[in-house]
């Protein structure tokens, strides 16, 4: 850390605004200047969008720029890059990789997606079957299928894990890559969801060539690298900062106050209980973000993501009950390809349907319960008979 404090950051923001007035500066030019000034990720190294400052001080920068009407980088659109790819590249990438990928990622010039889950390896991610074979030139040729890939239809790059050694146990034969989504052999197909839209995709990889300098970490060490991605993913999904009575509980509470004709005594107690649980989750999220200042996210992020999924499903269910027949209205079944999930701007029926996916995406609730039990509560691990068996000998 450089010893930079809040006052110094405010001074640097003032300098940025003086040199690049948001009212007259092109949006992209302003974001470029912000990144180059080290005010993108203040805790990142100098030259990579940061100043080696304490992570907690990012809120100071964001508040100052928001008050000045400065543009942001549309974080919902590039959430996978910001929340998953960037921290993994920062920790495991070479200096060349960091300088190549981090700036356009933060600027939103290049969208990222995540090629992890597979049709036969969702909850048991380490059982993945996508193969990467090294060729005579030292590069890699990848064949396989990935599924439930958000933003693949928009993405320029993907974080990818593939099996490079089938002769060792499943966790030890995986390698982590950066995959060019425009490369020959990459095919993206939409997956239409219960909401009618196609936010997710399946991705087919056929003879896709990846240069070895697009590998993150050592060959065979991909599972360890992927843990950084997964821990950050769960914080990104379940640990976002929200104001008091923000999110879905705010929508239901507002409806309760503004439409007294809908109030029924049987729902009042449930609303109070969920409001209290949502507030407890919000405060737990604040504590989690304080812990992040001291280092990398731990298993607590899994607990936050669990709470996020359960609360979203219960609150959206309460909203549908509260609205009675109006809660079933959802007439937009258009085959859309959205850039991000919009809970607040859609109907209650949409929220109810879309929330069902919250307990699957970013790690199923069942898997996360195991993580919390073993790594947070210290309970005995479940018996695992396949940990020491070579992957190629596993039943599939």
Does residue 138 contact residue 175 with C-beta atoms inside 8 Å? no
Same-domain check for residues 270 and 365: yes
Same-domain check for residues 30 and 143: no
Same-domain check for residues 158 and 183: yes
Partners of 159 in beta bridges? 114, 178
Same-domain check for residues 346 and 367: yes
d(CA 195, CA 178): 31
Among 285, 203, 207, which residue's Cα sits nearest to residue 247? 285
Q: What's the structural domain count of the chain?
A: 3
Same-domain check for residues 153 and 293: no
* Residue 184's CATH number: 2.40.110.10
In a domain, 60, yes or no: yes
pLDDT by residue (tens digit) across 89-113?
A: 999 999 999 999 999 999 999 999 9
Which residues fall within 8 angstroms of residue 383, CB to CB, at 6 or more apart?
Answer: none
Question: Confidence band (pLDDT; 50, 70, 90) for 173?
Answer: very high
In a domain, 208, yes or no: yes
Same-domain check for residues 288 and 351: yes
pLDDT of residue 159: 98
- Choose between 342 and 130: higher pLDDT: 130
**Which residues are identified as catalytic?**
233
In a domain, 92, yes or no: no
Which residue among 203, 220, 237 closes a domain? Answer: 220
- Choose between 297 and 34: higher pLDDT: 34
User: Looking at the predicted structure, is the pLDDT value of residue 238 above 60?
Assistant: no
User: Looking at the predicted structure, is the pLDDT value of residue 382 above 90?
Assistant: no
Which residue among 176, 205, 220 closes a domain? Answer: 220
Among 370, 391, 48, 383, which residue's Cα sits nearest to residue 223? 391
Question: Domain residues for 256?
Answer: 227-376
Same-domain check for residues 340 and 246: yes
* Residue 354's CATH number: 1.20.140.10
In a domain, 1, yes or no: no
In a domain, 81, yes or no: no
In a domain, 84, yes or no: no
Among 123, 132, 85, which residue's Cα sits nearest to residue 104? 85
Which residue among 16, 50, 72 closes a domain? Answer: 72
In a domain, 129, yes or no: yes
Token digits of residue 226: 């992927």
Q: How many residues does the chain have?
A: 396
Same-domain check for residues 256 and 370: yes
Using the structure block, give the residue that is written with the tokens 């859609």. 346
Same-domain check for residues 194 and 117: yes
Same-domain check for residues 214 and 235: no
Question: Confidence band (pLDDT; 50, 70, 90) for 240?
Answer: low
Same-domain check for residues 208 and 290: no
pLDDT of residue 69: 96
Average pLDDT over residues 217-239: 83
Q: What is the overall mean pLDDT for the chain?
A: 89
Same-domain check for residues 276 and 368: yes
């Amino acid at each position: 850390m450089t010893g930079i404090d809040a006052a110094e950051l405010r001074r640097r923001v003032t300098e940025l605004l003086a040199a690049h007035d948001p009212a007259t500066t092109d949006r992209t030019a302003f974001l470029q200047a912000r990144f180059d000034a080290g005010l993108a990720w203040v805790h990142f190294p100098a030259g990579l969008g940061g100043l080696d400052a304490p992570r907690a001080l990012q809120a100071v920068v964001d508040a100052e720029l928001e008050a000045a009407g400065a543009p942001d980088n549309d974080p919902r659109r590039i959430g996978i890059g910001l929340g998953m790819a960037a921290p993994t590249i920062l920790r495991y990438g070479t200096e060349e990789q960091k300088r190549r990928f981090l700036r356009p990622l933060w600027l939103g010039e290049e969208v990222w997606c995540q090629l992890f889950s597979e049709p036969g390896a969702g909850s048991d991610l380490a059982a993945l079957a996508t193969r990467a074979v090294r060729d005579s030139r030292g590069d890699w040729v990848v064949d396989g299928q990935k599924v439930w890939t958000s933003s693949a239809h928009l993405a320029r790059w993907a974080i990818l894990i593939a099996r490079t050694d089938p002769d060792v146990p499943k966790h030890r034969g995986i390698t982590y890559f950066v995959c060019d989504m425009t490369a020959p052999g990459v095919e993206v197909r939409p997956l239409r969801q219960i909401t009618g839209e196609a936010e997710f995709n399946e991705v087919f990889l056929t003879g896709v060539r990846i240069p070895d300098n697009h590998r993150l970490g050592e060959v065979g060490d991909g599972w360890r690298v992927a843990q950084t991605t997964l821990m950050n993913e769960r914080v990104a999904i379940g640990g976002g900062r929200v104001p008091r009575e923000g999110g879905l509980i705010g929508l239901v509470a507002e409806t309760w106050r503004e439409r007294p004709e809908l109030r029924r005594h049987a729902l009042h107690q449930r609303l109070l209980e969920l409001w209290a649980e949502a507030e407890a989750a919000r405060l737990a999220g604040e504590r989690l973000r304080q812990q992040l200042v001291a280092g990398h996210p731990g298993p607590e992020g899994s607990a936050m993501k669990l709470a996020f999924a359960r609360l979203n499903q219960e609150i959206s269910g309460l909203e549908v009950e509260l609205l009675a027949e109006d809660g079933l209205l959802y007439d937009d079944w258009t085959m859309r390809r959205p850039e991000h999930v919009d809970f607040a701007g859609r109907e209650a029926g949409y929220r109810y349907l879309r929330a069902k996916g919250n307990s699957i995406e970013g790690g199923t609730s069942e898997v996360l319960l195991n993580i919390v039990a073993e790594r947070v509560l210290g309970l005995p691990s479940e018996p695992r008979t396949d940990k020491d068996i070579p992957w190629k000998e596993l039943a599939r």
